[in-house]
Amino acid sequence: MNPTVDEVGLRPALVIFDCDGVLVDSEPISLACLTAGLNRIGVDIDVETVRARFAGTAMPSIMQHVARDYGIAAPEGFVEAVKAETLRAFDAELRAMAGASEAIAALDLPRCVASSSDPVRLGHSLGLTGLLPLFEGRVFSSVEVARGKPFPDLFLHAAARMGFAPESCLVVEDSVPGVTAARAAGMRVVGFTGGGHWGHDPLGADLTAAGAERVVCDYPALVRIIAGAQAP
């Protein structure tokens, strides 16, 4: 059994936040846009299946899975169209996760973002919700590494760029691929189920099964976990 944050009792040197579903409540919006796009090109899939299979996964990997499992190759311009539709939906609906801004601003630890989203979407999401100043210059995208989540490359890249050893990092993640990637990187992980896409399972059993040491559903609980991990 993996040790919990409290059992380890070590102050993390760096907190790495996923973006979608952790900092911003974007997953219900983006998953709905992706589902609608896949349906348009003949992929018979519903939003819950898209959530279970693709949440936290970069678009290139998603399209590889669709081609392999459904036998449908996306037409030219499909990914770009879905991304544009998603950004338009963000403009109308996207919100920061409740309590995120205040909690992160008060966090007395180095922090960064490591996300499967591309840099344009990351900048758009964090800028739109007012969170970008909290992470300026410390936002890392899966396009910067050879392999996205569930491989450890992105988290290792973020830690290296920030100048910290993997074992000293604490990751906050909302998806199974993200938790898997963090554990493969040798990092501790707290699962987060405060996003709208987690209404089916606020306890996050699949995040625990993937290796999350604790699962929390809001920022006050997350702050308590990190504060406990800060104890000398």
pLDDT tens-digit profile of 70-79?
A: 999 999 999 9
How far is it, in rounded angstroms, from Cα 81 to Cα 85?
Answer: 6
pLDDT-derived band at 131 (thresholds 50, 70, 90) equals very high
| Cα dist from 180 to 41, 152, 172, whole Å | 30, 8, 12
Residue 133 has what DSSP assignment?
Answer: G
Spot the catalytic one: 18, 20, 25, 153.
Answer: 18
- For the chain, the average pLDDT equals 90
Query: What length is written for the chain?
Result: 232
Q: Are 212 and 58 in contact (CB under 8 A)?
A: no
What CATH number is attached to the domain comprising 106? Answer: 3.40.50.1000
Same domain? 20 vs 116: yes
**Residue where a domain stops, chosen among 64, 93, 122:** 93
What CATH number is attached to the domain comprising 72? Answer: 1.10.150.240
Looking at the DSSP bridge assignments, the partners of residue 14 are 169
How far is it, in rounded angstroms, from Cα 207 to Cα 200?
Answer: 13
* Per-residue pLDDT tens digits for 170-196: 999 999 999 999 999 999 999 999 988
CA torsion through residues 122, 173, 180, 135, sign:
positive
pLDDT-derived band at 200 (thresholds 50, 70, 90) equals low
Q: What is the pLDDT of residue 231?
A: 38
Same domain? 58 vs 111: no
How far is it, in rounded angstroms, from Cα 113 to Cα 14?
Answer: 11
| 144 CB-contact burial (10 Å; exposed 0-12 / middle 13-18 / buried 19+) | middle
Same domain? 89 vs 125: no
Report the half-sphere exposure of 79 (CA within 13 A, side-chain side).
Answer: 14
Q: Are 71 and 43 in contact (CB under 8 A)?
A: no
Q: What is the mean pLDDT of residues 18-23?
A: 95
**Residue where a domain stops, chosen among 36, 61, 93:** 93
Same domain? 87 vs 198: no
Same domain? 17 vs 33: no
Number of structural domains in the chain: 2
Q: What is the mean pLDDT of residues 79-102?
A: 95
Same domain? 139 vs 184: yes
Same domain? 69 vs 175: no
Decide if 153 is catalytic.
Answer: no
Same domain? 17 vs 68: no
Same domain? 75 vs 135: no
Helix (H, G, I), strand (E, B) or coil at 128: helix
Same domain? 141 vs 222: yes
Same domain? 69 vs 150: no
In 10 A of CB 196, how many CB atoms?
14
pTM: 0.84
Q: Which domain holds residue 187?
A: 5-25+95-229
**Residue where a domain stops, chosen among 76, 93, 110:** 93
Same domain? 120 vs 224: yes
